[in-house]
Structure 1
């Protein structure tokens, strides 16, 4: 017994010695590298042939260091802290409730938020902004314009505008602008509740709870929680939202970091609002982070049916640390794991190749099981239980949108047409569409398609290999055919272009709410969700992994209803 205790004591001492030596070595390496960095920084400042900006040098060094880790670890200087908080933490700021857009070097009012100072003062989409508080806007960048428009609640801001050739001056009183996490909630015509959650910032769980309470009073047959294009936010808010639908003391997510204090299991902590209401969660390729925590938990716990496309695949957790001089650093401190134990991180930042992170190979994926025994997979986002093919956007539509060529026609339409009777049923007539096409006669909406880029690359390679003469006729024939399709693309893509144009027009009359409601009539994922929720047998079949549906893609990952 004495020998055994002596041996254990010796092992313990050896372990402590190794840890102490490793700790001292780490401290030495940190100190050594900081000394080298400081010396390089000093010598450049003192001896470089041209004048240098010490702050720019340091910022470049910090950014380069963090860029080698992952895109979510970032440094935030004091000058950017307020913007950072608005993006990642808070949903409130002092302003006028209007967005702006630059067109041909001129600044115009774009979207108006209902009920805020811009709306109350009759600012309109298409008003040209010339001066803000007597400061000319010409030559200012986007950040400078935002600083001029924003300010404390109750403070005045004076705008000089041009509308229909007339000069107007309007003085607005800034208000607290709230960008809600829940941008829309209500009942769909078939008795299904709908909540659209755009982000997981402060109070997002409370907003979802309030929306759910309003919907519950109308006794819905089911609920759609729309997380499409939701890039995430605060992890704890995601846990609270799951808790609205899941019983107390159920594991939602586990985060695991290098440091033991970063390993935390998050469980539901209170009774749910409704643990029985049939639920569908909508996701797409832009649903990330906290969205994936919610969708993954609902899927693993067999609490809801996930519909849409595979999610983004961000399984990393960040924490913000305060730095000297009021700056911040946001650091990836852990990976998170859904209730079944899977991490859905899609990109491997630890093993970059040629400086780029690659996706985990399908062969490395592991199989996990939901509460009812359905198979789910890790390392590549959340796969939907029911897959709906994503709508593709044609290059011409994308070009029209990015070059703001819907903007002028939507404004002109609003000036000459009465408000539609109902945003949900609004559609543009063929005559109106032809009028829009005519308005593009003198506009540049050119673009370079992927096919054209490939042809250009082929031409260059053929020239390098001295083979251009042999293939030139074929390449010219391809170019001619592509040119022919360009002449008819406003006709062949008419349905898609009309949808975008309708969205822009309806926002002029009914703001963001109308824009969302008008989109319902084209929403394939929402239509699929309603179909599922209106068939309880089908919901149970999907959640149990049985019934009349077929797997698509990798077996066991997602289904498509017959």
Structure 2
């Protein structure tokens, strides 16, 4: 039951992409979510890079105004002896990227770049909490089991306004994380605003190593139903998923629940590899569409073996983003699964990391992705086939209404030959736990 309880990301979550991203012990839910469909296709990256470079070279950029401002600062700023050229350089680049008005495009210093690259590995050092951006700082969306944050008494809903007296309200989630995370054994003083408390709360937290499995399972006490929780789409996730999926490829197991709730995304290629277990070889799984139509790229199933043909229910919610939506969207379009829960986040853009010579990086939105039926979920999200929402008492009673309803739906689905189960068929004998007839 403990593993089930942790899934109430009414529960708390960041992750998005995202990616809802983890930054060494912090899962950034930012409501810039997550985390991000990152393309790892090196040949495509090269083509996109050349395209952007070509377009930039054709721009007649007048930098006279910049140099005037730069010289004014160098000549007149009171503490000019403390100015560092690298600081000004990074400020210029950061401002240039922010001027795009795209919350998914960002500049990262070498330090933040290193943390970002560790984000999808599942190994972190920090306090072990999931956060999202808040106008006052960052809000704790989830406290990880056994984490320093939990041991220190940090709660879901706490707003961290300072880290070691550094105000966080004007920082991005990634920037805020850089002040909160740190090496195992070191301490960070957090200033917290908590609902119902008149005074600010000070917490001194000793950081530690945090290990977040990208794939998890729990025993649902029903031999016919398997359960796989996907927490992120990291570098090793596809292999871990396949190993777990194979354990359910037996005579007893009739169907599985894939839990994508609060999964903010990750690598696009990982989503492709996971989907390849369910959709036959060479079928289109997702298409990325670029400003230059010549770059539009369909991604195909890479299945080289047997297709997993058991019944599938996929759990989604408002924090299921990017790669999670690619996965849910493809399974839905090919009638491979019933989607249960709440509308997904609606993060349908693709970010490409551009590495810079000094170790810094620009993460830039370069495309949007479309499901096999040519549907863009960007800002729209994916609707579940059967909507199930939590009630207030569910939180108090630690009752995962969505998972319990998914189990009922899957049991009914297992008995049917038709794919997928229609809402009408489900309504013949069932009502949702909210007492409302499904529509």
Output one character per residue of 1:326-378: Cα deviation in whole Å (capped at 9) or x when no partner: 111111111101000111101xxxxxxxxxxxxxxxxxxxxxxxxxxxxxxxx
Residue deviations 1:207-250, cap 9 Å, x none? 11111112334731210000001000000100111111111111
State the Cα deviation string for residues 252-310 of structure 1 (Å, max 9, x = none): 00101124564211111223554310001110011000000000000001111111111
Unaligned runs of 5+ in 2: 1-52, 131-142, 155-162, 168-176, 188-206, 428-435
CA contact (8 A) 1:282 1:307 kept: yes
Q: Which residue of 2 aligns with 1:75?
A: 107
**In 1, are the aligned partners of 2:321 and 2:344 still within 8 Å (CA)?**
yes
**How many Å separate the matches in 2 of 1:86 and 1:216?**
32
Deviation at 1:185, TM superposition (A): 4.4
Whether 2:361 is the aligned partner of 1:298: answer no
Tell me how far apart the structure 1 counterparts of residues 79 and 382 of structure 2 sit (CA, whole Å).
52
Corresponding position of 1:44: 73
Supply the distance in 2 between the matched residues of 1:339 and 1:269 (Cα, whole angstroms): 15
Query: Per-residue deviation at 1:111?
Result: 5.6
What is the alpha-carbon distance in structure 2 between the residues aligned to residue 343 and residue 47 of structure 1? Answer: 50
Q: How far apart, CA to CA, are the structure 2 residues paired with 1:334 and 1:26?
A: 17
Cα distance in 2, alignment partners of residues 25 and 496 from structure 1: 53
**C-alpha deviation, 1:180, in angstroms:** 1.4
Residue of structure 1 in register with 2:381 after alignment: 381
What's 1:530 paired with?
407
* Whole-angstrom distance in 2 between the partners of 1:192 and 1:561: 23
1:315 paired to 2:377: no
Residue 338, structure 1, aligned to residue 371, structure 2: yes
Q: Which among 284, 296, 300 is matched to residue 251 of structure 1?
A: 284
In structure 2, the CA distance between the partners of 1:392 and 1:210, relative to structure 1 (3 Å rule), is same
Q: Which residue of 1 aligns with 2:202?
A: none
One of 188, 199, 211 as aligned partner of 2:232: 199
Measured in 1, the distance between the counterparts of 2:54 and 2:127 equals: 56
> Is the 2:225–2:253 Cα contact (8 Å) retained in structure 1?
yes
2:31 corresponds to which residue?
A: none
Distance 1:186 1:274 in 2: 24
Aligned partner (choices 284, 291, 297) of residue 317 of structure 2: 284
Q: Is 1:271 aligned with 2:148?
A: no
In structure 2, how many angstroms separate the alpha carbons of the residues matched to 1:140 and 1:60? Answer: 19
> Whole-Å Cα distance in 1 between the matches of residues 55 and 330 of structure 2?
41
Listed as ranges, the matches of 1:137-152 within 5 Å are: 143=178, 146-149=181-184
| Aligned counterpart in structure 1 of residue 62 of structure 2, from 24, 29, 33 | 33
Residues 496-555 of structure 1 show CA distances to partners (whole Å, capped at 9, x for unaligned) of 5643xxxxxxxxxxxxxxxxxxx5xx22221222122212377655727574357xxxxx
Q: 1:62 aligns with which of 79, 93, 109?
A: 93
Measure the CA separation in 2 of the matches of 1:252 and 1:386. 23
C-alpha distance after superposition, 1:33-61 (max 9, x if no partner): 34543443233222345647454444444
Whether contact under 8 Å (1:280, 1:529) holds in the other structure is yes
Report the CA distance between 1:82 and its aligned residue.
Answer: 2.0
2:390 corresponds to which residue? 391
Q: Give the 5 Å matches for 1:339-418.
A: 339-346=372-379, 380-388=380-388, 390-391=389-390
Report matched runs for 1:388-537 at 5 Å. Answer: 388=388, 390-391=389-390, 495=393, 498-499=396-397, 522-536=399-413
1:441-481 CA distances to partner (integer Å, 9 max, x unpaired)? xxxxxxxxxxxxxxxxxxxxxxxxxxxxxxxxxxxxxxxxx
Residues 1:35 and 1:324: Cα distance change in structure 2 (over 3 Å): farther
Find the counterpart in structure 1 of residue 359 from structure 2: 326
Specify which of 91, 96, 99 is matched with residue 122 of structure 2: 91
Q: Which runs of 5+ in 1 are unaligned?
A: 1-22, 102-109, 129-136, 151-156, 159-171, 347-379, 394-494, 500-518, 551-558
- Pick closer, same or farther for the CA change 1:43–1:272 going to 2, 3 Å: farther
Give how far 1:75 is off: 0.6
> Structure 1 pair 537/244, CA: closer, same or farther in 2 (3 Å)?
closer
Number of matched pairs: 330
Q: Which has the higher contact order (CA 8 A, sep 6+)?
A: 2
CA contact (8 A) 1:246 1:272 kept: no
Extract structure 1 runs of 4+ deviating beyond 6 A: 23-26, 137-142
Relative to its length, the structure with more helix (as a share) is 1
Q: Does the 8 Å contact 1:231/1:291 carry over to 2?
A: yes
Using structure 2 for the length normalisation, give the TM-score: 0.64
RMSD in angstroms over aligned alpha carbons?
3.9
For the residue of structure 2 that corresponds to 1:195, the secondary structure is strand
Which residue matches 2:214? 181
Contact 1:243/1:272 (8 A) holds in 2: no
Answer with 1 or 2: which has the greater Rg. Answer: 1
